[in-house]
Amino acid sequence: MRILEGEGVTKYFGGLSAVADVDFTVEEGEVLGLIGPNGAGKTTLFNLISAALVPKPGIIKFKGQNITGMKPYKICRLGIARTFQTVKIFANMPVSNNVLVGSRFGASQRMSPAEADKTTAELLEFVGLSNVSNIPAKDLTLANQKRLEVARALATKPELLLLDELMAGLNQTEVTQAMELLKQIRGEGITVIMIEHVMKAIMNVCDRIIVLHHGQKIAEGTPQEIATSKTVIEVYLGEQTHA
C-alpha cells in the first residue's frame, strides 16, 4: 500500500527552484533513501512533506488523503514525524521532557499522563538514553542528541518517520549503533524516509533510493541499481570520489 505520494511537488525560493516537479511514492513498511549532492533539495523536500513549507504547485498525499497546506502539528498528529539536520532539541529541558512533548501532543490518540510517561520511559530505553533521562538535553553528545530527536519523533507514534542526516557528524561506532537503531525502527513496522550521506548506511539499510540533483529527481531504484547507474555516478558519486 502506498503510504505517501507526491505529484509534481515544486518549491521556488525567489527565482531558484529548490525542488522542481518531483513525483514520488513511498510504500508502507519500506526504508527509502534520499540522496544527492549538497543543495539538491533533499531537506526542502522533507520540509514540504512535514509541512514546514507548502509546495507550490504540487500535491502531497498521506494514505490517500491530501495533506497539502496543513499545519505541521496536524501532519504530526496524522502520523508523520521528523528529525532535523541540525539538531533541534529543547536544550534546557530534561531529556525525558523532550520526549514527553512528543507523547503528550503528537500522538493521534490522546494518551493519559501515565501512558505518556510509560511511552517516554520505553522510548528512552529503546534509544539507550534511560540513564541520562534527567540531565538537560544540551549536555548530551551529538550522537545522543540525534537519538533523542529520534525518540521524540517516535513518541508521536508515527507511521512515517523522516530522518534528516541521522548519521552526519557521528564516528564509526556511532554510525554502526545508528544503523542498528534504524533496523529496530523498521522492525516496528514504521516506514522510513532517510536523507543520508553515509553511503555504507544507505546501501545497507535502504530498500529503495531516490536521487535528487538541482531539485530534480534524476534516478530511482534499488541500492544496486543506483550504485551502478551511470547518471548517478556522473553527478553524485563521481563528484564524491574526486573530492
Question: Closest approach of Cβ 14 to another protein, in Å?
Answer: 20
Question: Closest approach of Cβ 43 to another protein, in Å?
Answer: 13
Place of cell 553515509: 198
CA distances to 68, 165, 232 from 24, in Å: 15, 20, 17
Q: Is 101 in the site for another protein (CB under 8 A)?
A: yes
CB atoms near residue 65 (< 10 Å): 9
CA distances to 69, 98, 117, 146, 184 from 94, in Å: 33, 7, 14, 15, 25
How far, in Å, CA of 108 to CA of 123, rounded?
Answer: 17
Contact 95, 101 (CB under 8 A): no
Place of cell 511537488: 9
Contact 62, 4 (CB under 8 A): yes
Helix (H) or strand (E) holding 82: strand 80-82
**Beta strand pairing status for 80-82 and 160-164?**
parallel
Q: Is 4 in the site for another protein (CB under 8 A)?
A: no
Contact 33, 209 (CB under 8 A): yes
What are the cell numbers at 153?
519523533
Q: Is 79 in the site for another protein (CB under 8 A)?
A: no
Q: Is 113 in the site for another protein (CB under 8 A)?
A: yes
Name the one range near another protein by CB under 8 A: 19-27, 71-79, 201-209, 235-243: 71-79
Rg over alpha carbons for the chain, rounded to the nearest Å, is 18
Nearer to another protein, 103 or 229 (CB): 103
Name the one range near another protein by CB under 8 A: 81-89, 194-202, 218-226, 230-238: 81-89
Per-residue x/- marks for another protein, 11-40, CB under 8 A? ------------------------------
Nearer to another protein, 16 or 91 (CB): 91
Name the one range near another protein by CB under 8 A: 5-13, 36-44, 103-111, 222-230: 103-111
Question: Closest approach of Cβ 88 to another protein, in Å?
Answer: 4
Q: Which amino acid is residue 42, in one-letter code? A: K
In the set 19, 32, 36, 84, which binds another protein (CB under 8 A)? 84
How many residues bind another protein, per CB under 8 A?
31
Q: Is 91 in the site for another protein (CB under 8 A)?
A: yes
The footprint of another protein on residues 39-68 (CB under 8 A) is 50, 52
Interacting residues with another protein (CB under 8 A): 50, 52, 71-73, 75-77, 81-82, 84, 88-93, 97-98, 100-102, 104-107, 113, 152-153, 155-156
